[in-house]
Structures are given as C-alpha cells and as structure tokens.
Structure 1
Amino acid sequence: MDIRKLSLHKIDITKNTAEKIEIDIKKETIIEYVNNLVDEILDSPNKRMYRFKNGETQVKSSLDKLVKDDVEVEKILLHNAERLLEKEVHAHAQLKLKNLSVNIQKGSLLHLHFVQEGISKVLICKVEHDEYLNELSFDKNNGLNTKKKVFKSFLLFLDTGHIYLNDKNNSKYWWDDFLELNQLNTDDKNTETSLHEIDKVLTAYKTKYYADYLIVRNALIGHYRSREDFNFTTMVDDVFTKYTPISIDFPKDKIINRIVALPDSKGFDTQFTISKKDINKRIKTHIKLSNNLYLNINDYVEDLKNIIEPVEEHGAKYIKILSTEGYETLKALLKK
C-alpha cells in the first residue's frame, strides 16, 4: 500500500471542538495501523453502496483537494471535521429529546488517500481514539486504538466511482447529513430482494429436507421480524451457522456458501433498515394435511420445533400441535 495523504482530527462533542492530531505517516506503527484498518474495511462483508447527491456538496468537493494534496487541503479537511462535529452535536441533541439511552461514539475523523494494487482510493472513517497515561512522564496522551478500530467508514474507488459504507448502526447523520449521500438501493428493495433470494436457496431443499426447511425458514422470518436493521453476517450466523439440523445429511455448509454469494450475484446490500411491509409478501407457508385440509403458518412462530410434533403410533401417523387456543375451540370433538 502506498499512503499518499493521511489526516486525523479528534472530535469532541462535549467540548464542541475538532482539533488536528499530528501524525508521522512514515512510522512503521502508523503504516501497520492503516494497513490493518483498510484490510478490515475491505474484508468486511457488511457494506452498503451509495452515490453522492447532486451538486457540489462539501465532502464531495474536498476529495479532489485531498487527492491532489492541495495547498489548502489541511484547512479543507478541518472544515470536514467541523462539519462532522456539527452533525454529531445535532444528532446527540435529537437522541436526548427522544429520551434514548444511546450516545454518539467518541472518536476521531480519519482522511486517507492511498493506492492499493494500482487503484487509487479515498477512505474517510470514524475511528476509536483513546486517552492514555504515558508510563514514563505520566502525562496524558492521545492515541489510536489498535484493537477497536472502525466505527463508520466511507470508501471511494476513484477508478470506478463506486462508494461503499460500513456502519453497524446505519447512522443517518453519517451518510446523509455529513457525507451527503443517497443510497443506491432502497430499504424496500433490499428487504424484498434479500428475503426472496435467500428463500429461493432454501426452497431448493424443501422436498428432501422439509422439516429442516420449515424450521430454518421460520427462523429467517423471525430474524427479519425482530430487528430494525439488517446485518448480513449476523443473519447468516444466527439463522444458519448456529442451526443444528434434524436430518443428518442436511447440507448446511453448502447452503451457507450459496447464501454468502447472494449479495454480489443478486445485487442487494448487506446492511440496511428492514422494511417490515416487504416481509409480508413471503411469510406464508401451507402444509397439506389431507384433501382440503391444510396447516397454514402465516408469520414467524416462536419455538416452532417444540410446538408441532409428528407422531407415529400403532401404524397411524398424525401431527400433534401444542395449542391451548385450538384445544378450547375444538374440545367438543373429543371422543366420549
């Protein structure tokens, strides 16, 4: 990696200050830190694609100066830091008005222009920045945290203009207010497409492994139902990786590999806000019990595996369903 320009500003919303931190980019520790930082962002499967809003917005306009290392670049990057400070102060105030027990993460704004494998890129990210006690002088110093690195990131490929964001919290003040970006895919499209494509993968194994299909699909619907924000890695881990199959030969690893390839092949983001109305289109499951008799599952059912039980006794096969409500409705059918 060839680091062309690196600038760091400490953002402090309690003091309402944005100040430049001097860094020697030739030091091996800094080079190692930046390398690890970029690798962490590029290797993350959880990104979302964006584009700049129309017009000459502030951060967008500053990137050309950053790349050219303009004589005014330090002043321009300070203005970016002050802009982020302003947006964070406003976002913090909004959180307090809503009585939410959530705080804006403390950190610093990093601007980086670098060339990697012949491709020029710009990275802007919010990184953890700690205060520590110098062991020799006992003075308080500031430093970059090498273990907890990235809160939010913006990565621009200058050759294609592609923009990727990585932000676990999907903070609107970051991508909309500060960076002034538009999302390439809407939340509605991401929700519908991702659920549809994952469901298609599962449906391919429906006939041979119906019990596993039913349990996993129910867990998938529950994952979308129970969360506001979608994180692809978390979904794969919770729904698929942690699942213990009923059938010994259920191809869990093969299914996971197919699902991991979906965001790139089917064009949906791996981070977005879940659109609840788009879940309804795909949640219903119909199980035929006999002619003109079906078991309908119309939404996520908690603990489904322990509510429905197939039973075989004395040559007869039937389904046992744990249901107090159903019992009360049908108890008149009990044989005397």
Structure 2
Amino acid sequence: MENNLVSQISLNEDSINLKQYVESLVKEILEQPNKRIYEFKEGATEIKNSLIPILEKTENIDSIIETNAKRLLEKETRTQDRMNRLDIEIQKGSLLHLHFNSEETNKIIICKVEHDEILSETSFDLIKGLNTKKKVFKAILLYFDDNNSITYNYVFDKNSSKYWWDDFLELNQKNDDDKNTEKSLNEIDKVLTPHRVKYYADYLVVRNAVIGHYRTRDNFNFSDLLDEVFTNYVPINPEFPRDAIINKVRELPSKKGFDTQFRISKKGINKRIQNKIKLANNLYLSIDDYVENLKNLIEPFQDEQGNKFVKILSTEGYETLKGLLRNDSTNT
C-alpha cells in the first residue's frame, strides 16, 4: 500500500530469500512477548469473514485479500486525515496474509510489514522492497481448532493504534486499559511487598522505578519493564533476590490474567510511594511519590570513624537548610 493505492505484489514462491523472510517473520511474531488478547465483535465482520476462505484456500482468495488491503487503506486514510494537524504520518507498508500449521495447529497471521526505498547500485533508480531487519509493526495472530473456530486471538502493535484493532480488524479488547494498568501494577506490587522489611532500600528503589515506568510512558510493553526495571537493576544489598523476583514477575501475565501490551491508563495508577525513613528523633526523610533517579539522589555512606551519614543531592534543600541552620546558630 503506497500513495493511497493498493497494488498486488507478484511473488516467486520458490524464492529462497522469500522463504527465509517469511520464516523469520513468523518466528518473530510467534516469539513476541508483548501482545494483547482481543475478541472479534459480534456479527459478520469483514476481516472475520475472510478467515475461513483463507484457511480453505478458495478460488477467489486473491480477491478476498485485496478487499482486506483496500479496507486497511480506507481506515488509514481516514485516520491520517485526523492526524495531519499533529504532523504525524502513518507508515506505509505491505499487508501480508500467512496461513500455516505449527504444533499441529492451524494459524493465520495478518500483518503490516515495513517498506524500504533504496537506490539501485547499477541504475540508481529507487527500488521498493521489504525491510529484512525491521519487519513487523502491526500484526494479528489467530489460532484455530479442528472445526476452524478461533481459539486464541493475539494482536501485536507497540503503539496500540485504534485504527488497526478497532476500525480495520473490528475487535474488542478482552481487558480494557484501566483494568490492565491497575491489575498489572497491583500484582507486581504484591511480588515486591514481602521484601520490604529485609531489603528495604532495594524494595524502595525498585518499587519507585516500577511506578515511574507507568507514570512516564504512554504504552506498556512487558519486556521493556522487565529489562529496564528488573534485569538491569544492580542491588544495593547483594543478597537481594533479584532473579527470583524476576521469575515471579515474568509469570504474572499468564497467572493473573493481564496483557503484556496495552496503553497505560494514568487513572489506573493507584500506587504512591509514600515512605517515611527515620533519620533521628523527630527527623524523617519523606518520599511522597515517584522520584526520578532516586538511587542517584540519595546515598548512605560511612566515614573512617564509623559515623554513618545520608547524602542527598539537592540544590533546593541545600539553600534552605543553609539558611535555616545559620539562623539557628545565630539564635543560640
């Protein structure tokens, strides 16, 4: 789909390069950790109606696939008209329909893949082609039983574009964004809470990072959370059971029933930090909510005489305390 036109691409099915591209594409989608479960809307929807003919390889399959492509172009064109004022352009690409059998299960993938334009080394003409490195940016993966009924339905789209899952595919979200946000955050919090007493410093930093991850992003991708918050975390206490926590968090989506990809609902973020750390009699360090780079702002240390201190990087606090302590010493 290019320049608001749908054109069919003739493929050499015997091409080794094409076979490798498709195999790599299927592998990428099947192994993608970030996905969301959807259900088709009730009634005879267009994309849903095209699935059985694709499974049965009917004679008019080319016409059916072309109709799907025209449908996507229509939805993208309408969406683009609304997005022009935001200076956002919907990426052009190819719409592929793949029917295959793996693990004794019929599967269909409908995916939009990325186009590239390159200069020919010989003629210096612009040549359009499929990007072999960055392939998929939107896809639906469907599983079928022996009666050709849909058993599972996953959508992959890092941006959770409504025109893709709602307008084009005509799907309903099984879990809405509010539910996904609240449930995932609550379940992760339950994994961390048992370590609050024994590993308080690590608990505080990791929990702060989790809440910050939700607060500072529009879209949730579970693998990003695992990598950025947990896998890359260097514990303060070397005995902090980071790997065991990672394993428990990794099991949460399937065990507790939330999606691994969704748009973060800010009203669904019902957690606050709210921690008070006692420094001395009547003196507390209060952390009221998410603090960016908390680990880099506060540092406990001990001098050669064994005195223990807490260093806090704060220009504002420095100026306030400097004036406060100066006045206090003057009054005494």
TM-score range, shorter chain: 0.7 to 0.9
Match of residue 92 from structure 1: 80
1:136 Cα deviation from its structure 2 partner:
7.0
Conserved? CA contact 1:284–1:296, under 8 Å: no
Match of residue 11 from structure 2: 23
How far apart in 2 are the matches of 1:166 and 1:36?
A: 16
Match of residue 222 from structure 1: 212
1:224 Cα deviation from its structure 2 partner:
0.6
Number of paired residues? Answer: 321
Match of residue 300 from structure 1: 290
Q: Residues 240-277 of structure 1, C-alpha deviation per residue, up to 9 Å, x if partnerless?
A: 12222111222222222221121111111111111111
Query: Residue 282 of structure 1: SS of its match in structure 2?
Result: coil
Which of 256, 264, 270 does residue 246 from structure 2 map onto?
256
Which of 116, 122, 134 does residue 102 from structure 2 map onto?
116
The AA in structure 2 aligned to 1:220 is: V
How far apart in 1 are the matches of 2:296 and 2:214?
A: 21
Match of residue 228 from structure 2: 238
Larger deviation: 143-152 or 225-234? 143-152
How far apart in 1 are the matches of 2:298 and 2:119?
A: 59
How far apart in 2 are the matches of 1:326 and 1:199?
A: 33
1:119 Cα deviation from its structure 2 partner:
0.2
Which of 107, 111, 118 does residue 125 from structure 1 map onto?
111
Match of residue 105 from structure 1: 91
The AA in structure 1 aligned to 2:58 is: D
How far apart in 1 are the matches of 2:52 and 2:284?
A: 63
Unpaired runs of at least 5, structure 1: 1-10
How far apart in 2 are the matches of 1:147 and 1:322?
A: 43
Match of residue 8 from structure 1: none
Match of residue 286 from structure 1: 275
1:295 Cα deviation from its structure 2 partner:
4.7
Match of residue 45 from structure 2: 57
Which of 309, 324, 327 does residue 331 from structure 1 map onto?
324
How far apart in 1 are the matches of 2:84 and 2:123?
A: 39
Which of 182, 187, 203 does residue 192 from structure 1 map onto?
182
How far apart in 2 are the matches of 1:139 and 1:315?
A: 73
Match of residue 144 from structure 1: 130
Q: What does residue range 152-171 of structure 1 map to in structure 2 within 5 Å? A: 152-159=138-145, 160-171=150-161
1:147 Cα deviation from its structure 2 partner:
1.9
Residues 60, 322 of structure 1: alpha-carbon distance in 2 compared, 3 angstrom cutoff: same
1:91 Cα deviation from its structure 2 partner:
1.7
Residues 292, 162 of structure 1: alpha-carbon distance in 2 compared, 3 angstrom cutoff: farther
1:29 Cα deviation from its structure 2 partner:
2.7
Conserved? CA contact 2:222–2:260, under 8 Å: yes
TM-score if structure 1 supplies the norm length?
0.86
Query: Residue 51 of structure 1: SS of its match in structure 2?
Result: strand
Query: Residue 8 of structure 2: SS of its match in structure 1?
Result: strand
How far apart in 2 are the matches of 1:244 and 1:117?
A: 39
Residues 317, 25 of structure 1: alpha-carbon distance in 2 compared, 3 angstrom cutoff: same
1:331 Cα deviation from its structure 2 partner:
2.6
Match of residue 40 from structure 1: 28
Query: Residue 40 of structure 1: SS of its match in structure 2?
Result: helix
1:315 Cα deviation from its structure 2 partner:
7.6
CA RMSD of aligned residues (A): 2.7
How far apart in 1 are the matches of 2:170 and 2:283?
A: 55
Query: Residue 7 of structure 2: SS of its match in structure 1?
Result: strand
1:176 Cα deviation from its structure 2 partner:
0.8
How far apart in 2 are the matches of 1:143 and 1:306?
A: 46
Unpaired runs of at least 5, structure 2: none
How far apart in 1 are the matches of 2:125 and 2:301?
A: 72
Which of 187, 190, 203 does residue 193 from structure 2 map onto?
203
